[in-house]
Structure 1
């Protein structure tokens, strides 16, 4: 993987900024820092301000495992496009598929509150109902690896068998055959008639975007991971703000002015960092 804020990474990012791209970002762990309290997660003000500036210059989307209803107040209009529930919700979503997903999730939850209730209590599993998908949280587990393994065994009892995406201290259950973050984001890219997709994400739930065979111009993972399909990475979530700032500044400059700035040895510190 290539560090995005290295000289090589910045050259690649300059190229992206000159193209007709949809800029898409995961929410938790990417735009917003991870938190033990998932209800209190929000985008830092400085990140939100730079994201808003980017959205004035190019189409931007947030792609999350959270529901759109959950995302909307947290985003507060910063970007125009929201994709939720790992791709089941979004501007290009299929309404019939969403209704089917809602029915299946209700059946799964019923099974969890009856046949699986005692096992879930013993493991201290918190079931988050996102209407079109379910997330089983176990952040407080003393031995998270063992709890995750137990969950993967228990959910085999569900019918139809769920599509499983593991996350940080969670297991996501999606109805089979439904959209992914990757397919939903690519569909939005095409709907907006953009030439490609730029995407930043931070964990396994984002790999369906990174692994797209076509359409993705740059995939960036928060935290280096050898097994990821993303070609680029940033070291930690706080560097996402610098990426946003870089993109905004590049879009506001002509190629000639940018080249001239690149040659200035005594440029101010902030300008040097942005280039």
Structure 2
């Protein structure tokens, strides 16, 4: 007859907790210790594309990693807040992430368009200022502009509402197309009062004055966070890294996590911890949830 030890003994040993990776820097190790010691005063802030969702050729097909929502829902009730900080419209990130109406994510916040938009799970609504007029002007001019510089083949425009992005990932030589377009698109953006934000084979034309670093600092001030984890994968995440580096000099522990990519060495070289893409981010979040 088979053993029924576990059924008969409700105090059977629990399964071992997931192993937490060790940050490579002293500041990173101190930050992880602070997060584990005071989770209720910690903000977990995360990029979306490339961090919670795998990078795909068509951004409209991007979806959060299959285990991301479960990991977030397990961690969110144990920390001060979870915030998704993204260049996407807030509502798009919510839909593609599957964040709405999830038990455990009642206090989730999505800061879209680099903080220009905000979605709060508690209300289910997006708040945002009026759009920059330069975006409409560039929207009208961009197709003809790309045609005039001979950039149509393999490039395409992503409509982002308060911004526009030109992708080169489908070009014959994606990096060469990216480099060739960088200066002309910067000139176009400047004429209309916009800036160009370079990313992984994408050039985004958007209003100035807002980036992930500004959005993150404002949100951390609002929440009175005593420690913070930020995970990102792209050049647009560098301002958030810079904000955490500055906050560390001011006494706030911050853990910099890179969702591993060979395309953006600038980020991985500054990170305290490099994980294996969105799957690695999800494992890290789940492990933290087990340990707090």
Match of 2:280 among 233, 236, 239: 239
SS in 1 for 2:178: helix
Alignment of 1:1-275 (within 5 A): 5-6=21-22, 12=30, 13-19=32-38, 20-58=41-79, 59-75=81-97, 76-77=99-100, 78=102, 79=105, 80-90=108-118, 95=128, 98-101=129-132, 103-119=133-149, 122-155=152-185, 156-158=187-189, 159-176=191-208, 178-212=209-243, 213-214=246-247, 217-223=254-260, 227-228=266-267, 229-251=270-292
Change (3 A) 1:127 1:184: same
Matched-pair contact (CA < 8 Å) for 2:90–2:111? yes
Deviation at 1:24, TM superposition (A): 0.8
Where does residue 259 of structure 1 map in the other structure?
none
Q: Contact between 2:87 and 2:114, CA under 8 Å: does it hold in 1? A: yes
Q: Is the CA contact 1:21–1:197 (under 8 Å) kept in the aligned structure 2?
A: yes
Look up the SS of the partner of 1:45 in the other structure. coil
In structure 1, how many angstroms separate the alpha carbons of the residues matched to 2:175 and 2:63? 27
Distance in 1 of aligned mates of 2:242 and 2:232: 12
SS of corresponding position for 1:233 = strand
- Matches of 1:198 and 1:184 in 2, distance apart? 14
**Mean alpha-carbon deviation: is it higher for 78-87 or for 57-66?**
78-87
Write the distance in 2 (CA, Å) between the matches of 1:65 and 1:241: 20
TM-score by length of 2: 0.74
Residue 123 of structure 1 deviates from its aligned partner by 3.8
User: TM-score scaled by structure 1?
Assistant: 0.79
Provide the C-alpha distance between the structure 1 equivalents of 2:66 and 2:256, rounded to a whole number of angstroms. 24
Task: Give structure 1 stretches of 5+ with no counterpart.
Answer: 252-275
8 A Cα contact 2:24 2:272, kept in partner: no
106-115 vs 180-189, greater mean Cα deviation: 106-115
Unaligned 5+ residue runs, structure 2?
1-19, 121-125
Q: Give per-residue Cα distances to partners, 1:210-269, cap 9 Å, x unaligned.
A: 011125611111127653333322243321122111111111xxxxxxxxxxxxxxxxxx
- Of residues 22-31 and 214-223 in structure 1, the stretch that sits farther from structure 2 once superposed is 214-223
Aligned residues, how many? Answer: 244
Partner SS state of residue 170, structure 2: coil
**8 Å Cα contact 1:14-1:250 kept in structure 2:** no
- For 1:181 and 1:7, the matched residues in 2 are separated by 23
**What is the CA–CA distance in structure 1 between the aligned matches of 2:36 and 2:210, rounded to whole Å?**
28
Whole-Å separation in 2 of the counterparts to 1:87 and 1:162: 16
1:69 is displaced (CA, Å) by 2.1
Q: Secondary structure at the match of 2:266?
A: coil
Cα deviation per residue 1:44-81 (whole Å; 9 max; x = unaligned)?
33221011111122210111111112112123325420
Instruction: Note if contact 2:35-2:227 (Cα within 8 Å) is conserved in structure 1.
Output: no
Q: Give the drift of 1:91.
A: 6.2
Identify which range, 113-122 or 145-154, moves more after superposition: 113-122
Counterpart Cα distance in 1 of 2:34 and 2:22: 14
